[in-house]
Structure formats: C-alpha cells, structure tokens
Amino acid sequence: MNLLENQRAAEAVDRIYQDLETILMQNIVRHLRGWEQPIDTDRWLMRKLAEIGKLNQENIKLIANMSGISQATAEQMLNKMAEEATAAMEPGFQYMVEQNLIEGMPEGRRSKNIRQAVDNLKAQAKNTLNLCNTTMLYKARDAYSRLVQNIAKEAEELSNKQEFIDVLNKHGSSVTIGAESRHQAMIKCIREFNEKGIPAFVDKRGREWTPEAYVNMAMRNTARQTAEEVQSARCKDAGINLIQIDSHSGARPKCAKDQGKIFSLNNVSGETEDLNGRTIRYYPWNSSSYGEPDGILGINCHHHKWPFVPKVNIQRYFPTNDIDVNDKLYKETQVQRALERSVRKQKRECVLCNEIGDKEAFKEAAVKLKQKEAKLKRYVGSKEQLHRRKDREQVVGFDKGVSARATSSNKFVEKYGKVRYNKDGTVIITDDWKNRKHVSIPKEYHQNAVIEVSERKGDDVQINRTFYNQEGKMYRQTHSGPHANSRQHPYGKNGEHAHDYEWKDGKIVNRTTRELTKKEREESGDIL
C-alpha cells in the first residue's frame, strides 16, 4: 500500500468527523442567538453560560448519531483492506502450493488468523473513535464557554469606545449600544472559532489535533496496519515464519536500521539458508521498529514486507518502484488537500454566518470562498495528474439554499464591489433603467452603483448617470444634455454638466452644478 492508497483508504471515516465537527459548531452558534436582547452584556453572558447543560445534552445526541455511522464505516474500510491485502498475496501462495514448496492452506475468508487480526484492529479503531467522540464532547463544551466569554469581553471593550458610540447614534440607548457591540464582537469571535474548530485529540504535549488531522492519521495507520497484519496472518496460514523488508535510499533512521533484513514472525532469532545455500541470519520481528509511528511500516513509510521461504528465496533488496514519482504526486496531493481544507473551512464560515442570520458577514465569507475556490482550481489545473474532487470540498450544512445565497452574494459583490471601466475608459453601468417609466432616483442605493436613465423633453433625449460612493450615497450625477434648458445649463458643447451632492448627518445639505472634468468626459464618452 503506497502513501496515496493509504490516504484514500482513510477518507470515508475522515469525512464523517469533518461533518461532526461542523454539526457541533453549528449547534454552538445556534445557542448564540438572542444577542439583540435588550439587556446588558453581563446579563446576556450569564444567560448564555446557563445554557451549557442543554448544549451538552444536545451534543451527546449528535455525537451518538454519528458514532454508529463512523464505526460501521471504519469496519467496512478495514474489511476492504483485508480483502485487498489477501488478494495481492494469493497468486504467490498459489504458485508455491502448486510447486509443493508449501502445504495447502485455507481460503483467505476462512482464515482464523486473518479473522483474529482484523477483529483486533476493529477493536483498536473503535477505541480510537470513542476517544475522539469523548474529546470532541468536552472540547465543544469548552469552546462554547470560551466563545460567549470572548464575545462579552470584546463587546464590553467595544461599547466603551467613544468612536463606536458616535457611529451608532448620539441618541442611542445603552441597550442599543450593548446589543450592537455584542453583534460586532460575535462576528469577530465566530471567525476565530471557525479557524480553530473543535479538537478531536490532545496529545501528551498538549497539542490539539483537528478531527480531520487526527482521524485521518489514525485511520491511515490502522488501514496500513490491517494490510500488514493480514499479510502476516496469511504467512502463518502458509506455515511461513520468515519475512524480508525491502530497501530504498533516503529511509528514515528507524526504517534504515530494519530495511533489507529477514525477520521471524515468531519473534525468534537464528540462521537459515537461501536458494544459493548462503547462510542468512534472521531477527525477531518484535526487535524491529514496527508499531512505532516513525518506524518500519509506520506512518508514511515506503517499505513493504515479503514472505521468505528458506532454500527457495534469496535475500535481496527489493527496490520500491517509482518511489520518486510517487512521492512527487503525493506531495502535490497534499497541497491540493490543504487548499481543499481552506475551501471547506470557508464554507463552514458561510454556514455559521447563515446560522446567526448576518447577511453582511455571510456576504464577506462568500467572497472569500470564491477566492479560495479559484485558487484551488488554478492549482489543480496546473498539475497533469491532479483532478478536482468536489466531494472533498463538501461541508454539511452548505446545502443548495446556502450555496445559492453564496453565489448570489458573489454576483452582488462583483457587481457593486468597485466602480469598473471598459477598455476605452467608459464606465460600466451597474443598473440600466433607461426603459423604466416614472423613474425615481434613490438618494441611497448600493455602494459603487452607477444608475443610467433616459430623459425625454419633447424631441430631445439625454442620458443621465447617477454615481454612488462606498457608503451607497449618491455623490454625483452626470447629464449628457441641458434638460432642454440651455440658458440654465450653459455648459460644454451640448449642455452636458455634473451635479455634486454634499451629505451631513445622513441628509443631502447641498447640490452644486458644474462643468465635467476631463476624466468624467472619458468615463461618459459613450453618451456625450
């Protein structure tokens, strides 16, 4: 089993825990609703902390529902690994039986040795997943407690800032200020929460592992172990006690010590002969580094083991085929998986923002999502052997409805994100209202919008454009004619002119009329 095969084997269980993490985070954010309550932040905090017990009971049910699925999926994975490992060795064993080199052996599916090996590894996988479930339960509780406390702290600091109070309103009440500060603090803290996630494992050094990282690593290790243990069990079925490890350059220190050697599965040492009558020394299998994460046949190890039959085989260093090519592809897939994680995390932020109903935060998250998806697409497109895996970008909760809103938000942002121009320097119109009747130009509209309307006075038709600033306030109008009144608008060649609008305290307080600047003539050159 090479690194890529090992990686893919763990994907099914890995995804379940990715989904579980998102489901728990959704439930946590769901309990943040009520930030707009007309109470001060300290009282809000006490109310939210009082919900920990209810949240914990809900999370227990959520984890229990996923637990059965994850364990069933893990067992399916291990059964498949066992079948594949057995099938890979069968032709060799069949040949040896036909040549009377070994005695007859039971079919793989009837092998007690294989069954026992797989059952042991299933129990190991079950214990691993149960540990993840327990860890995620108490870490979810801690995450909620920390989240609401951080929101309260940030909100308190924000509400004490004079500039924040001024922005709200000079006449805003303390309740209004408290609720708004909680809202702003909540968005900031949710983004930090999304970045961190809910750990599934804490190692001896206190490092917290994400569900994806730990479950993937644990299942990869278990899948590889299954293949190795099944092969050993099949050797026992054939009465073969000796195995040899292949060899390649650049091996890790612990692997380098063991590669190329002959080992005894019965854990004894001694000497035997190969096909050429040469004396071969063998060592106990438990004296090797097998079973250690960085040892022989451990995590990300390139080595394989092969049966060794005395006086039939010769000791040789079987090279691992195309190891450099495989490593290159593996490294490329790891970059792809990192980009996929980034996309999933951004989708999760969309889901969490949607959960609390914040449209602006959702819009920002949707824009970032599109950027990350584009980056992933570019990388995969630049590598010959890679292809887009949409299934690995999926996030529970990011359903058709959320996806549609994200797409709509992106289109909106693309349209109103900035003022855009054609190659000839003319401005791109965001809203063409020329065919509308009885048009009323809004004073406030979408940010960076450019509305175009037609104005008819008798036989004369002119085009008018209204420009909006970053705040969505009308700040300038460009007119291609004099409104059929050249005396009042003696500007340009054909009465073209501009109006500037001045705002104060949310109202237009002044409007001036003037000639068009050179730049304004360029951007409206198509209508002048």
| In a shared domain, residues 224 and 348 | no
pLDDT digits (tens, 9 = 90+) for 112-135: 888 999 999 999 999 999 999 999
| In a shared domain, residues 85 and 165 | yes
* Class of residue 389 by CB neighbours under 10 A (exposed 0-12, middle 13-18, buried 19+): middle
In the predicted structure, residue 5 carries a pLDDT above the cut 70: no
CA distance linking residue 189 with residue 432, whole number of Å: 40
Tokens at residue 378, please? 């570019």
Q: Has residue 423 been placed in a domain? A: no
Number of domains in the chain: 4
Q: Has residue 517 been placed in a domain? A: yes
- State residue 23's pLDDT score: 95
Average pLDDT over the chain reads 86
| CA nearest to 397, candidates 348, 436, 335, 442 | 348
410-424, 445-459, 510-524: which has the highest mean pLDDT? 510-524
Q: What angle do CA 129, 131, 134 make, to 5 degrees?
A: 110
In the predicted structure, residue 109 carries a pLDDT above the cut 90: no
| In a shared domain, residues 192 and 56 | yes
Q: Among positive and negative, which fits the CA dihedral 363, 364, 365, 367?
A: positive
| In a shared domain, residues 312 and 329 | no
- State residue 430's pLDDT score: 93
CA distance linking residue 306 with residue 295, whole number of Å: 17
In the predicted structure, residue 367 carries a pLDDT above the cut 80: yes
Q: Give residue 177's pLDDT band: very low, low, confident or very high (50, 70, 90).
A: low
Containing structural domain, residue 306: 241-320
- Per the DSSP assignment, residues forming a β-bridge with 474 are 468
Q: What b/e readout covers 476-493, taking b as 16+ CB neighbours within 10 angstroms?
A: ebbbbbbeeeeeebebbe
| CA nearest to 17, candidates 103, 130, 96 | 130
| In a shared domain, residues 327 and 307 | no
In the predicted structure, residue 358 carries a pLDDT above the cut 50: yes
328-332, 413-417, 512-516: which has the highest mean pLDDT? 512-516
pLDDT digits (tens, 9 = 90+) for 41-55: 888 899 999 999 999
Q: Give residue 324's pLDDT band: very low, low, confident or very high (50, 70, 90).
A: low
Percent of the chain with pLDDT over 90: 44
Which of 320, 340, 358 lies at the terminal end of a domain, its last residue?
320
| In a shared domain, residues 20 and 131 | yes
| In a shared domain, residues 302 and 330 | no
Q: Has residue 421 been placed in a domain? A: no
Q: Has residue 528 been placed in a domain? A: no
Q: Are 42 and 152 in contact (CB under 8 A)?
A: yes
Which of 194, 221, 238 lies at the terminal end of a domain, its last residue?
238
In the predicted structure, residue 432 carries a pLDDT above the cut 50: yes
Residue 497 belongs to what H/E stretch?
strand 497-504
CA distance linking residue 369 with residue 377, whole number of Å: 12
Q: Has residue 118 been placed in a domain? A: yes
Mean pLDDT of 249-259: 82
| CA nearest to 395, candidates 444, 346, 446 | 346
The sheet carrying 270-273 orders its strands as 270-273, 279-284, 262-264, 242-245, 305-308
Question: Terminus-to-terminus CA distance in the chain, angstroms?
Answer: 71
pLDDT digits (tens, 9 = 90+) for 483-495: 888 888 899 998 9
| In a shared domain, residues 437 and 292 | no
DSSP string, 338-362: HHHHHHHHHHHHHHHHHHHT-HHHH
Dihedral over alpha carbons 399, 405, 410, 411 (to 10 degrees): 130
| CA nearest to 242, candidates 284, 206, 214, 279 | 284
In the predicted structure, residue 163 carries a pLDDT above the cut 60: no
CA distance linking residue 4 with residue 277, whole number of Å: 39
Mean pLDDT of 400-413: 86
The three-state secondary structure class of 78 is helix
| In a shared domain, residues 130 and 96 | yes
List all residues 6 or more positions away from 57 whose beta carbon is below 8 Å from its beta carbon. none
Q: Are 427 and 421 in contact (CB under 8 A)?
A: yes
Mean pLDDT of 226-240: 86
Q: Are 498 and 516 in contact (CB under 8 A)?
A: yes
- State residue 299's pLDDT score: 77
DSSP 433: -
| In a shared domain, residues 405 and 311 | no
- State residue 170's pLDDT score: 46
| Token pair 């060794």: residue | 308
| In a shared domain, residues 104 and 210 | yes
Q: Has residue 186 been placed in a domain? A: yes
Q: Which amino acid is present at 66? A: M
In the predicted structure, residue 480 carries a pLDDT above the cut 80: yes
In the predicted structure, residue 158 carries a pLDDT above the cut 90: no
| In a shared domain, residues 88 and 113 | yes
